[in-house]
Amino acid sequence: MQHLIIVARDRPDIYEDLKRQFQTNAALRILYDRRQPAASNGDHVPDRRSRRQTDDRLSTHGHILIRVA
């Protein structure tokens, strides 16, 4: 099983620390959150994932762990 750790864009400290700690773990990838902020003009297509829950976790903890099947 693979795992992703998504790190908030404004937390390079967490990103660097996790990259260093898990550099030899081939089953884990660490990435910055690349999502764009939601459009405010009403043209936004809803994401199938819970964006609010993910945003809350990223802002609270600075990162989120996702299991990839």
**Domain boundaries, given as residue ranges, for the chain:** 2-36+47-68
**pLDDT at residue 26, as a whole number:** 92
What's the predicted TM-score (pTM) here? Answer: 0.74
What is the pLDDT tens value at each position of the chain, 69 positions in all? 699 999 999 999 999 999 999 999 999 999 999 887 666 666 655 555 567 888 888 989 999 999 997
How far does Cα 12 stand from its chain's mean position?
12
**pLDDT at residue 56, as a whole number:** 87
CA distance 38 to 44: 7
